[in-house]
Structure 1
């Protein structure tokens, strides 16, 4: 990522390739197509902190495809070990070593560099996202502390179908439409670090409510399917 950020619009080109070539053709090749519903009008000139529920291996590709903003992921360092993807990830993301307080602190500096280039930031905030019995796992505070520190509006995105159509245990998934809801952002102007938990809870509730109110009940049904396959 550092090299691409040195050149004007360099990362935008990388992101465009990721969005229109890698994410789009990979998902289409897997039998998925995407419909994004914007429940708000996002400012194309505004940087955001994008957060979303994380219930599938395809969430990263879906986030890239669905977003109209160029953003940089903040994610755990361990992902660089994934073949092929790890090489791309290392060059296009802010990596965090969760065991190192220094690494976590460095994220704030790296995030500012990203924002100075005009890019948004994206984090999947769930703690234990691989729990198939939870509709939405509890959140870590990192995304919200970063958003407050840099006065970034929090924009929740909700992946309604990934948990059912391509769960972590993919033996009972299936291809089809992937719906994404983009919810109204929450302003962070004037907030302080001690407000992070309130901001976290508001965002959690917004995503959780959207999953519960889904007319197709896709994520709710995904839990039922998982239990049928694994608990009987």
Structure 2
């Protein structure tokens, strides 16, 4: 006989039934969350569809002040996807009613205290269908925000659309909402409301994750408790906790199974399976470290060490990723500048504005590996609403930037500059503003916010350059392999005595230095990944071109 005995071997006693009577409530929770999520999706999509219908035949003129080439475009939204919005609303309503039936079923099981295998099966089916309907409704959110990446109203499209209607063949809700978020708008009140709705929809997609986790954990626990009879030595509380522990081990089991499967599959499928195994591992580890950060943030802030929160969590994430995926970043030898600090010494000098190149989502691990103490990162405002991660970032003094609101962004930087002066807190910024996913050593154009912040606070700029790690993570090609990536910290660039008129020069000087170092770090020999090139003086254009050809 094992620890557990099949419940069919002997009829459940009255005490056993009584003990199970109070354990049905966890199944009530995901149904309630499902109802709340469905209603939220319904209200958000309804407001978006109404606004789309209102804007359907209106023409808006935008002035786009690109550097050295101001222009304007006349935008007339056509063929907007309102039908998909109505369909999504219907799916959200179905999800709501299925959630209601799920709550009623869970309530009945709680009141009767019966095993109710049929009721448990019915509840599982209701929750699965309800989740599928809500997930289907949520696809509209992804369509609105992500479907046509690359068709944003940016410089190339704006320059080709001067004085004409935006071509409706390439018009989608995503381009419209991206225009709403990115470009200056005339009607402040109306568009501020729609911007808020867009950000809410983007943030709420993350609520699917805790919903599915709660549902799967509760369902697994109850299937376990109704399949096996609890022995007298095991209390219901311990049995319930055991069910949760078994569930929490499921991601690890799934990843191990996928890794083993990749060993026997052909090359292409094996690469795909291995990619998703590493991606799942990274995501679970990131959420776990964010939860850890949320828990430690409160006591650290209470004892006056709030500036160490992100450093503490970053180091934890570093070792978790090294053990879980075999990927890590290392700071290479420092570069000494006569009369100044070396790069690695600059990590200890504060306050400073650290700027780094932004390649993929894996740069979060780069921060964890080299992040100095008393440093905060900047992040887009929508991340503030992501469960666990957003909570941790809010508690750890992250500087949130609203890209759609210049006034709000300037206020955030003003606050950051004041904090840097008073508490000597560093700030880390990715001046490219977005991920490049570059397959070769290259940098996107730099935004000036980090440099204005450094000049305003009169603190040095410390460039941090991460070598191109396309060989470790290729998001588009679905390749993710273990590896070590070199990171170089360049000598600080002083800003004392400089004003806003010097920002353009600072941007160029910093970007040129980072580009030279990026090419050096990312040098690849003809036989494979080679050692970084020896440090030299700044490269001229011809030398850069030759090195890129060799890459």
Report if aligned partners of 1:151, 1:189 keep a CA contact under 8 Å in 2.
yes
1:201: which partner in 2?
A: 508
* Deviating more after overlay: 91-100 vs 207-216: 207-216
2:370: which partner in 1?
A: 66
- CA distance in 2 between counterparts of 1:163 and 1:116 reads 40
Tell me the SS of whatever aligns to 2:521.
coil
- CA distance in 2 between counterparts of 1:131 and 1:56 reads 6
- CA distance in 2 between counterparts of 1:57 and 1:104 reads 23
1:210 equivalent in alignment to 2:517: yes
- CA distance in 2 between counterparts of 1:43 and 1:21 reads 19
* Deviating more after overlay: 177-186 vs 205-214: 205-214
Q: How does 1:23-172 map to 2 (within 5 A)?
A: 23-37=318-332, 38-39=334-335, 40=342, 41-42=345-346, 44-92=348-396, 93-111=398-416, 112-132=418-438, 135-169=442-476, 171-172=478-479
- CA distance in 1 between counterparts of 2:446 and 2:481 reads 28
* Deviating more after overlay: 194-203 vs 66-75: 66-75
Report if aligned partners of 1:128, 1:138 keep a CA contact under 8 Å in 2.
no
Report if aligned partners of 2:351, 2:424 keep a CA contact under 8 Å in 1.
yes
Shift in Å, 1:21? 1.2
TM-score normalised by structure 1 residue count: 0.82
Q: Aligned match of 1:17 in 312, 330, 336?
A: 312
Aligned length: 218
Give the 3 Å change call, closer, same or farther, for CA 124–216 of structure 1 in structure 2: same
Shift in Å, 1:169? 3.0
Give the 3 Å change call, closer, same or farther, for CA 114–150 of structure 1 in structure 2: closer
Alignment deviations for residues 50-85 of structure 1 (CA, whole Å, 9 cap, x no partner): 010000112122123213342111121122354532
1:186 equivalent in alignment to 2:481: no
Give the 3 Å change call, closer, same or farther, for CA 170–86 of structure 1 in structure 2: farther
Give the 3 Å change call, closer, same or farther, for CA 5–83 of structure 1 in structure 2: closer
Shift in Å, 1:7? 5.1
- CA distance in 2 between counterparts of 1:189 and 1:114 reads 15
- Larger Rg over CA atoms: 2
Report if aligned partners of 2:458, 2:495 keep a CA contact under 8 Å in 1.
yes
- CA distance in 2 between counterparts of 1:67 and 1:17 reads 9
| Structure richer in strand, relative to its length | 1
| Structure richer in helix, relative to its length | 2
Report if aligned partners of 1:70, 1:120 keep a CA contact under 8 Å in 2.
yes
The structure whose RCO (Cα within 8 Å, separation 6+) is larger is 1
Shift in Å, 1:178? 1.6
- CA distance in 1 between counterparts of 2:311 and 2:347 reads 19
Report if aligned partners of 2:465, 2:514 keep a CA contact under 8 Å in 1.
yes
- CA distance in 2 between counterparts of 1:105 and 1:11 reads 22
Report if aligned partners of 1:55, 1:168 keep a CA contact under 8 Å in 2.
no
Give unpaired runs (5+ residues) of structure 1. Answer: 222-232
The Cα RMSD (Å) is: 2.7
- CA distance in 1 between counterparts of 2:437 and 2:347 reads 34
- CA distance in 1 between counterparts of 2:384 and 2:477 reads 22
Report if aligned partners of 2:436, 2:443 keep a CA contact under 8 Å in 1.
no
Shift in Å, 1:5? 5.9
Give the 3 Å change call, closer, same or farther, for CA 28–206 of structure 1 in structure 2: farther
TM-score normalised by structure 2 residue count: 0.37
